[in-house]
Amino acid sequence: MVAFLLTFLLVGSAEAMRIKDVADIQGVRSNQLVGYGLVVGLNGTGDQTSQTPFTIQSMRSMLERFGVRMPAGQNMQLRNIAAVTVSAELPPFAKPGQEIDVTVSSLGNAESLRGGTLLMTPMRAVDGQVYAMAQGNLVVGGLAAEGADGSSVTVNIPSAGRVPGGATVEKAVPTSFGGKDRFIFNLHEPDFTTAHRVVEVINERIGPNTARARDAGSVAVRAPNDSSRRVSYVSLIENLEVTPDEGKAKVVVNSRTGTVVVGRNVRVMPAAVSHGSLTVTIDEDFQTDQPAPFGEGETVVTPESEVDVEQEDAPMFLFEPGVELDSLVRAVNEVGASPSDLVAILEALKQAGALRAQFEVI
């Protein structure tokens, strides 16, 4: 019973929220950056270069840029270097000279990046241009250790780490924030009622015809002609409070964890439910019949089966017309259903047309 109550979550009613919490301004977004580089200074935990030839190729290319040429056919066995991917998120309005955090992940078969240093790595966006340069000492939260007898222990993930402030922005991403005649607010969850309420709040506070809903997911707001006023203007709008409309009546079931989420607007039409299980147990045994001493009979083995049938008491409960969520929860708890039983009951109610909600399994 306790496990069921812990996994049965209820979605409450909507409350007033700031516009900045329910919508984003179109064009104001972060951008993903990625790069390929080398981590050096590892304590024998780097790539096995015989199995990762691209690590050696990268090392040769770097040395050649510094005027060091390796003899052709030279087979280098380096265990203090690792090929890595470097990823970061470039925030909106980031300017050259600002620093951002980067994540470094092993690309080959390095055992650990602990103690390593990331060499200068250009970071590119989807357009192929370099927007940041990364370099620095890694902070690795994982740990790996191995004994001489082959026993080993691994804590977290030692083949990935971060460099706080490890990348310097070299180029700003172009933005049209100061050049448009209107802002577009995109709702996180498109809804016609919520979009209408956002328009009403903005027009009531700023002025008539300031905002106009384009569709269920976006609201267009007129921008001031003076670009110097746009920051304060957006600050005023995004701090206005609006009450988002409640979502559709929905039941969401996570089949892997047994979590069941039921929306507050879920209703059950008149229905009677009985849920139970039938258990059949068959126990096979063998009996041996021995002949009398010095007799001419033979030993005979005869099977003996015992069949037991058990059926749990399954009390039936009745839903009245328009039953709300709390009544549904109380009725199911009284039956003592497990999460899997609850899913079966809800599916049966949906098939019977008695569950007024969308049923979604994730």
- Among candidate residues 35, 52, 42, 78, the one with its CA nearest the CA of residue 158: 42
Residue 335: what pLDDT?
60
Residue 227: what pLDDT?
77
Residue 271: what pLDDT?
67
Residue 167: what pLDDT?
95
Residue 138: what pLDDT?
93
Residue 303: what pLDDT?
62
Mean pLDDT of the chain: 79
Residue 326: what pLDDT?
59
Per-residue pLDDT tens digits for 290-332 = 666 666 667 766 666 554 545 455 555 555 555 565 566 666 6
Residue 11: what pLDDT?
47
Instruction: Spell out, as residue ranges, where the chain has pLDDT lower than 50.
Output: 1-12, 278-282, 284, 307, 309, 311
Residue 265: what pLDDT?
75
Per-residue pLDDT tens digits for 2-22 = 344 434 444 445 578 899 999
Radius of gyration of the chain (CA): 33
- Give pTM, 2 decimals: 0.68
